[in-house]
Homo-oligomer: A and B are copies of this chain.
Amino acid sequence: MTQNKTLIFKKIPTGLPVEGEHLVVEDRPIDLTKAPEGGLVIQNLYASFDPYLRGKMRDPAVKSYTPAFEVDHPIANSTVAKVLKSDTPDFQEGDLIKAFVPIAEYARVEKAHLAFARKISNPHNLDLGLFLGPLGMPGLTAWSGLYKIGKPKKGETIFISSAAGAVGQVVGQIAKREGLRVIGSVGSDEKLDFIVKELGRSLMMRCPRLAPDGIDIYFENVGDDHLEAALISLNTFGRIPVCGMISNYNTPRDQQRGVKGLFQIVTKQLTLQGFIQSNPEYGPAYTQEHQEKMQQWFKEGSVKAKLHTTEGIDKAAHGFIDMLTGGNFGKAVLKLN
């Protein structure tokens, strides 16, 4: 057995998880000598930190769209990994894959879980971390929310909350390509700077009230005061793809502030639609389109991405909690040694 440092869910938090109490890194030794029957042994190169994971750190009695984590078990999520041993003809030693496994140095993938593994097609030799960001789940989330629900029309204005985040920065750049005026809110001056200077061509502002002609699409990542401000600025027949409401993830329901002014949904004939990128009705062709177009745009340099990288499994709990409080700047990933 080989040492295998692993991010473990230790205790259900009521507010923000605390490193060492709710999340710890522990050695969970692993057998690297031989793949499971029909399965793989892999080495993780990158692991993804995503806000939705907070929703799984709950009492399992509370129902949700995704199962709760079990206490004293690893935190599992998307990773980019290298195949070390394979007992299936579908994968060869050395293949680079996307996997869904514990956040750990190594992992064993049973045959039954191979459905969650797929080879990475990376013809332009892009940074592998991107496959957890704009080319992974957050990128597909941006893609589906913007196109399927936002229904952008050239000349319209979009307001994006958490515009420097993993999803928000992709939404803004695609929207700009589609000829929209892009307004975003961000959590710090540093993030504002990045969006204005590095993602450049987008006009970014901190408040939708600065949009003189109102907004047509509000891409919702935050909730609460952001949603209230957007409702005031939205034009008739405005669309709100509801991607997340991170302001509520660490707040028990009875302590939430509540959202006022919802009556504007009627007066402005607004549509709010919640979505999850795995919605099966979007289908595989749709996923393929996202992948091919975005890879091409990265190669051309017409879209860019910021990754926020935590280095080393020892810092996994710290990096994860940092992401939950908005300390990350761009898509949060863990780079394993």
Does A253 count as interface, using CB distance less than 8 angstroms?
A: yes
Does A279 count as interface, using CB distance less than 8 angstroms?
A: yes
Which among B242, B261, B269 is the interface contact of A266 at CB below 8 angstroms? B242
Evaluate contact between B243 and A266: CB separation under 8 angstroms.
yes
Evaluate contact between B271 and A272: CB separation under 8 angstroms.
yes
Chain B residues positioned under 8 Å from A268 (CB to CB): 65, 274
Evaluate contact between B253 and A265: CB separation under 8 angstroms.
no
Which residue in chain B gives the minimum CB-CB distance to A266? B274
Q: Contacts A258-B260, A271-B271; is A266 near B279 (CB within 8 Å)?
A: no
Evaluate contact between B271 and A273: CB separation under 8 angstroms.
yes
Evaluate contact between A227 and B262: CB separation under 8 angstroms.
yes
Docked complex: A91-146 residues within 8 A CB-CB of B? none
Which among B254, B261, B262, B276 is the interface contact of A269 at CB below 8 angstroms? B276
Q: Contacts A65-B236, A256-B261, A258-B260; is A276 near B266 (CB within 8 Å)?
A: yes
Rounded to whole angstroms, the CA-CA distance of A242 and B253 in the bound complex is: 23
Among A55, A242, A257, A275, chain B packs the most CB atoms within 10 A around the CB of A242
Evaluate contact between B223 and A263: CB separation under 8 angstroms.
yes
Does A68 count as interface, using CB distance less than 8 angstroms?
A: no
Does A71 count as interface, using CB distance less than 8 angstroms?
A: no
Chain B residues positioned under 8 Å from A275 (CB to CB): 266, 269
Which residue in chain B gives the minimum CB-CB distance to A221? B266
Evaluate contact between B259 and A262: CB separation under 8 angstroms.
yes
Does A64 count as interface, using CB distance less than 8 angstroms?
A: yes
Does A4 count as interface, using CB distance less than 8 angstroms?
A: no
Evaluate contact between B260 and A242: CB separation under 8 angstroms.
no
Evaluate contact between B256 and A260: CB separation under 8 angstroms.
yes
Does A267 count as interface, using CB distance less than 8 angstroms?
A: yes
Chain B residues positioned under 8 Å from A256 (CB to CB): 260-261
Does A244 count as interface, using CB distance less than 8 angstroms?
A: yes
Known: A248-B263, A265-B273. 5 other contacts (CB 8 A): A242-B266, A244-B266, A245-B263, A248-B262, A267-B276
Q: Which 10 A-B pairs have the closest CB atoms?
A: A258-B258, A265-B274, A266-B274, A272-B272, A256-B260, A245-B263, A271-B273, A65-B267, A242-B265, A258-B260
Interface residues of A, Cβ cutoff 8 Å to B = 55, 64-65, 223, 227, 236, 242-245, 248-249, 253-254, 256-276, 279
11 contacting pairs across A/B (C-beta < 8 A): A64-B267, A242-B266, A244-B263, A244-B266, A248-B263, A256-B261, A259-B259, A266-B275, A266-B276, A268-B274, A269-B273
